[in-house]
A and B are shown apart, each in its own frame.
Chain A
Amino acid sequence: GQNIDQPTEMTATEGAIVQINCTYQTSGFNGLFWYQQHAGEAPTFLSYNVLDGLEEKGRFSSFLSRSKGYSYLLLKELQMKDSASYLCAVRSPNSGNTPLVFGKGTRLSVIA
């Protein structure tokens, strides 16, 4: 089976840093993805980790520990436009062409 857990909701202040955690238990692993989804819109790709460590992309960074089945998305210098749902997704089993399995998403509210 596959299980992906992330917090349901988070609130953070404009200009601050927020970390959104994701834990997963899957049969096989071939990459972890983070997506941003604004209300009423399709998900948009943020980051991809397949090896342990930190991937940085501007204000967004994503970390992966395969041994712990754990990832986080770090958002720096928060802006009001960052208010959205953030979806953690895993590709498994060990194939690069299988579909992504999504967690339930974390709804982030950025307040002034």
Chain B
Amino acid sequence: SAVISQKPSRDICQRGTSLTIQCQVDSQVTMMFWYRQQPGQSLTLIATANQGSEATYESGFVIDKFPISRPNLTFSTLTVSNMSPEDSSIYLCSGTQGVNTEAFFGQGTRLTVV
């Protein structure tokens, strides 16, 4: 499967600020997704990153808080806006290549908001 490079790997941010997380894939992927993983919990889907159009958000997540870009088939960004301590989590990007294939993940971004 393809390899996703995600950065930053971790960051400590002040409340009220924004952080942009980047994911670069080493080959074209069909779909890209963003997940959040709270400590000790499983993965919760934030949104599907659509190439060249607005992302599709899951219930409880909105574009103003988590704007997402996907300008081409190999790159996507997630911004966590106006952060509060409740946004402290691990954020993971994921991709799939082709229909009915497994998803693979970036290394994750561990975000702490103080």
Which A residues form the contact surface with B (CB < 8 A)?
30-31, 33, 41-45, 48, 50, 87, 89, 91, 96-97, 99-105
Contact = CB atoms under 8 A, between A and B. Distances in A.
Rank and list the top 9 A-B pairs by shortest CB-CB distance, nearest first. A96-B99, A96-B100, A42-B105, A45-B102, A102-B43, A104-B42, A99-B33, A102-B42, A105-B42
A48 B105 CA distance: 16
B99 A87 contact: no
Contacts of A100: 45, 94, 103
Interface in B96-113: 96, 98-108
B104 A45 contact: yes
B31 A97 contact: yes
Interface of B: 1, 30-31, 33, 35, 41-45, 48, 92, 94, 96, 98-108
Contacts, number: 52
Contacts of A87: 42-43
Contacts of A30: 100
B103 A50 contact: no
Contacts of B96: 97
A1 to B, nearest CB: 11
Contact of B103 (A99, A103, A104): A99
A105 B40 CA distance: 9
Contact of A42 (B45, B101, B107): B107
B106 A42 contact: yes
B33 A33 contact: no
Contact of B100 (A41, A50, A99): A50
13 contacts: A30-B100, A42-B92, A42-B105, A43-B43, A48-B102, A87-B42, A96-B101, A97-B31, A97-B96, A102-B35, A102-B44, A104-B41, A104-B42
